[in-house]
Amino acid sequence: MKIIVCIKQVPAKDAPLAISGNWIKESDIGFEMNEPDRFALEEALRLKEKHGGEVIALSMGPERVKQTMKEALAKGADRGIHIADDNFFQLDPLGAAKALSAAVKSENPDLILTGLQSDDQGFGQTGVLMAAELDRPHATIIMAIEVADGKMKLKRELEAGWFQWIECPLPAVLSIQSGINKVRYATLKGIMAAKKKEIAVVTRESLGVTSEPTQRVEKIYVPTKTKKTEFLTGTPKEMAAKLVEKLKFEARVI
């Protein structure tokens, strides 16, 4: 199976975010692989181990994105495709999906995997839109993949604890639910091997992708509080004592 995994690089989980217009100041923060995409990558590697084939990591963004792609290669992806784009964050979901789709069209993959959503913008549309662009069947929020006889049996998560099995032909696009597997760490051997692996660089221009944005993020800001929070202060012991008193005599819930 030839599998493409879409991997986004996002601000590190604990990065202090400073807002600048409709984005954040990128200069002072660290970046890491989008957590939901880690599960998609792991699933691709497992499918390759079971069925043979190739795993290609696909990312879009500025030069820094290569660091995250190298992590994917170190974990076992065979090669990478980097859509170099400094203004990636200004693309709307459709614009991003069009570029990603154009980059993989000539690869003709059996399967395209994405994470559920990104931890930064969180649109959660990439996989579904790539399926539309490439005219392939798709399924989202996938908790298990079984491949046999050129088609897949997929376990979809629904809400409130419900699941559903569905059948889906190949080739297809799947968005993977976080928690589907236990993600591996890169080994030292893998890190060494990654140095020899190729990352092809393309651009939206070289791919001939143009798209009119359908939406625009006007500004981002820190949410205004809807509830008045009473903050308790002091030493841990004092805060604990105050909290118990509040819960017992003010909120009367314990």
Partner 1 sequence: MKILVITEHRQGKWNNASFETLAAAQQIASVASGTVSAVVLGKSIATFADELAAKAVTEVLAVEDELLADYTPDGYCIALKQVVESAKPDLVLFPHTYQVRDFAPKLAAMLGKGMIGDCVGYRSESGKLVFVRQMFQGKTVADVSFLGAGPWFASFQAGAFRADLVQAHASGKAPVNSIGVQLTAAQIRTKPLDLFKEAKSAVDLTQAPLIVAIGRGIKAPENIPQAEAVAKAMGAEIAASRPICDEGWLPMERQIGSSGQTVAPKLYLALGISGAIQHVVGMKGARTIVAINKDQNAPIFEIADYGVVGDIFEIMPALTEELQKAK
Q: Whole-number minimum distance, CB 24 to partner 1, in Å?
A: 8
Per-residue x/- track, 20-39, partner 1 (CB under 8 A): --x-x---------------
Of 125, 134, 194, 204, the one binding partner 1 (CB under 8 A) is 125
By the rule CB under 8 A, 253 interacts with partner 1: yes
Helix (H, G, I), strand (E, B) or coil at 36: helix
CB of 186 closer than 8 Å to CB of 70: no
Q: Find the farthest-apart pair of alpha carbons in the chain and give their distance in angstroms, rounded.
A: 67
Q: According to CB under 8 A, which residues from 139 to 168 bind partner 1?
A: 139-141, 153, 157-168
Q: According to CB under 8 A, which residues from 78 to 97 bind partner 1?
A: 92-94, 97
CB of 176 closer than 8 Å to CB of 43: yes
Contacts of 98 (CB under 8 A, 6+ apart): 129, 133, 209, 211
- Nearer Cβ to partner 1 (42/56): 42
Per-residue x/- track, 3-22, partner 1 (CB under 8 A): --------x-xx-xx-x--x
The span of 46-54, 69-77, 186-194, 233-241 binding partner 1 (CB under 8 A) equals 233-241
As a whole number of angstroms, the distance between CA 2 and CA 61 comes to 23
Q: According to CB under 8 A, which residues from 175 to 194 bind partner 1?
A: 177-179, 182
Of 86, 106, 196, 231, the one binding partner 1 (CB under 8 A) is 231
CB of 131 closer than 8 Å to CB of 137: yes
Q: Whole-number minimum distance, CB 249 to partner 1, in Å?
A: 10
Q: According to CB under 8 A, which residues from 198 to 227 bind partner 1?
A: 212-223, 225-227
- Nearer Cβ to partner 1 (200/217): 217
Of 58, 129, 134, 194, the one binding partner 1 (CB under 8 A) is 129
Helix (H, G, I), strand (E, B) or coil at 159: coil
Q: Can the peptide bond before residue 16 be classed as cis, meaning omega within 30 degrees of 0?
A: no
Task: Characterise 116 by phi-psi region: left (phi > 0), alpha (psi -120 to 50), beta (else).
Answer: alpha
As a whole number of angstroms, the distance between CA 125 and CA 221 comes to 22
